[in-house]
Every structure is written in C-alpha cells, then in structure tokens.
C-alpha cells in the first residue's frame, strides 16, 4: 500500500494548541467610590479593588466584562494560550513570506 502523495512541494504540519483559549486582554484597575468619608478619599488614599476586566470582541462588538479574581486567573491563562497560538501563526506567515515563489 502506497502512502497518499501530496501535491508536489506541499507538506502538512501540526500545531500544538492548548485549550481552552481566549482572545482579548485582561486589565486591572483600582478606583475611588462615591461615599464622602470612605478610606478611598483618605491621604494617602486606600483605593477599592483591584477590579479585573476582560476586553475583547464578541460578535464584532468590543465588549468588557468584569471578572472575579478567580475568573481573572483563568482568563489570564486562556489569553496566554491564545497568544501562543497567534505567535505560531505569525511565525508561519513570516516563513511563508520568506519562501515566496518569486524574488
Ligand atoms: Zn470608597
């Protein structure tokens, strides 16, 4: 039995991807509140937070979600996996541009 031939000059590769992954970015913020004598107004101020936010695109719309610290930890890992995937794709694209069939 003969192995199926790929068309001349092509090859298949495997990307190693860890799931789940998530596009977007994570940000943290500390803030003051509306209460007049709160510790967040003290000198030095003791700000509220940190608050964690995921920002990304859902169905083409820029979306922000507030996360708990646990969700933020998971989110950070998923984003790192997505970035690793993007990096692999960028490297493939760079390689492709170096191997164009013209000079
Ligand atoms: Zn406050």
CA–centroid distance, 53 to ligand 1, in Å, is 19
CB-proximal residues (5 Å) to ion ligand 1: 33, 38, 40
What is the per-residue burial (b if ≥16 Cβ within 10 Å, else e) of 37-69? eeebeeeeeebeeeebbbebeeeeeeeeeebee
CA–centroid distance, 81 to ligand 1, in Å, is 36
Q: What is the mean pLDDT of residues 40-68?
A: 96
Alpha carbons 6 and 103: distance in angstroms, whole number: 25
Alpha carbons 8 and 75: distance in angstroms, whole number: 43
The yes-or-no verdict on residue 7 having pLDDT over 80 is no
**pLDDT confidence of 5, banded at 50, 70, 90?**
low
By percentage, how much of the chain surpasses pLDDT 70?
Answer: 93
Q: Where are the domains of the chain?
A: 25-98
Q: What is the mean pLDDT of residues 18-46?
A: 95
CA–centroid distance, 77 to ligand 1, in Å, is 31
Stated as kind and residue range, the H or E segment containing 7 is none
Question: Around Cβ 73, how many Cβ atoms within 10 Å?
Answer: 13
CA–centroid distance, 33 to ligand 1, in Å, is 4
Q: What is the mean pLDDT of residues 5-28?
A: 88
pTM beyond 0.85 = no
The yes-or-no verdict on residue 6 having pLDDT over 70 is no
């Amino acid at each position: 039995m003969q192995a199926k031939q790929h068309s001349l000059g092509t090859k298949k590769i495997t990307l190693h991807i860890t799931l789940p992954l998530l596009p977007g970015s994570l940000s943290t913020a500390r803030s003051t509140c509306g209460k007049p004598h709160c510790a967040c107004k003290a000198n030095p101020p003791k700000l509220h937070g940190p608050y964690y936010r995921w920002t990304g695109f859902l169905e083409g719309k820029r979306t922000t979600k507030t996360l708990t610290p646990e969700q933020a930890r998971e989110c950070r890992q998923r984003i790192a996996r997505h970035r690793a995937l993007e990096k692999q794709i960028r490297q493939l694209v760079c390689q492709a541009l170096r191997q164009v069939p013209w000079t």
